[in-house]
């Protein structure tokens, strides 16, 4: 993944979604109105976050068996990059909620659980900072991460579905199916997700490369 083609692909896709997402046609729906276009910008943040956290849990498991410092650094930096996208997802969701649900934060199950799942990963970073010994830190935080990941999945995708939520796809809500089935929206939504995932992965690689140089200089 040291090549540049995927970075350019990600950039092109993100710029494409900014243009096509604002100019192409969307379904006419009451309450949502033009804010339906937020689907192209709000949802990909969460997809990018989930992909980055999946990378993190993968390297956490790997670091437990390999005991390699590099795997541990990869796990931290992908969480660091993923949290940015999680926070952006929360803020954009709150703004969208203000104009469709009436309040920035209506203590909707989806909002609450999404906030808790971001906090889970803050706890991961705090846990790491609390341990000075490197081997111990790598092991304990890797195990924490392995537990945090399924918790995040449950908080985002299972628990909100069991409660009444205003968020599409949860509770008594019919979900985004009716919009997703719209082929015009799919043409922007899928490239948007792929584009932001690639940008997120890029940010993670930059963070990891910086960290490995810092690490090398500390050891010298």
Partner 1 sequence: MKKILFSLILMLTTVQLFAQDNGVEMADKLRSDGKIYVVVACIVIILLGLLAYLFSIDKRLKKIEKENLPKN
Q: What residues line the site for partner 1 (CB under 8 A)?
A: 7, 11, 14-15, 18-19, 22-23, 25-26, 28-30, 33-34, 184, 199, 202-203, 206, 209-210, 212-213, 216-217
State in angstroms the smallest separation of the CB of 26 from partner 1: 8
Residue number, 109 or 195, with CB nearest to partner 1: 195
State in angstroms the smallest separation of the CB of 131 from partner 1: 27
Enumerate the H helices of 26-68 as residue ranges. Answer: 39-66
Question: Which positions ≥6 away from 2 have C-beta within 8 Å?
Answer: none
Distance of CA 190 to the CA centre of its chain: 15
Answer whether 165's CB lies under 8 Å from 109's CB.
Answer: yes
Reading phi first (left if > 0) and then psi (alpha if -120 to 50, else beta), residue 127 is in: alpha
31: burial class by Cβ within 10 Å (0-12, 13-18, 19+)?
exposed
Residue number, 9 or 127, with CB nearest to partner 1: 9
State in angstroms the smallest separation of the CB of 177 from partner 1: 18
77 phi and psi angles, rounded to 5 deg: -70, -30
State in angstroms the smallest separation of the CB of 136 from partner 1: 26
Residue number, 11 or 92, with CB nearest to partner 1: 11
Residue number, 31 or 126, with CB nearest to partner 1: 31
């Amino acid at each position: 993944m040291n090549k540049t083609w995927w970075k350019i692909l990600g950039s092109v896709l993100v710029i494409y979604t900014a243009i096509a997402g604002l100019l192409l046609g969307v379904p006419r729906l009451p309450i949502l109105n033009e804010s339906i276009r937020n689907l192209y910008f709000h949802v990909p943040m969460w997809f990018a976050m989930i992909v980055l956290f999946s990378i993190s849990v993968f390297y956490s498991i790997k670091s437990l068996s390999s005991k390699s410092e590099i795997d541990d650094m990869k796990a931290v930096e992908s969480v660091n990059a993923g949290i940015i996208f999680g926070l952006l997802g929360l803020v954009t969701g709150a703004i969208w909620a203000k104009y469709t649900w009436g309040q920035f934060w209506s203590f909707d199950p989806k909002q609450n659980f999404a906030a808790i799942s971001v906090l889970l990963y803050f706890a991961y970073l705090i846990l790491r900072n609390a341990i000075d010994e490197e081997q111990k830190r790598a092991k304990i935080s890797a195990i924490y991460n392995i537990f945090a990941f399924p918790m995040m999945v449950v908080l985002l995708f299972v628990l909100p579905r069991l409660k009444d939520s205003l968020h599409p796809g949860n509770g008594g809500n019919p979900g985004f199916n009716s919009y997703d089935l719209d082929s015009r929206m799919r043409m922007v939504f899928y490239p948007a997700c792929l584009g932001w995932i690639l940008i997120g992965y890029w940010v993670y690689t930059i963070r990891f490369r910086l960290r490995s140089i810092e690490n090398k200089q500390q050891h010298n």
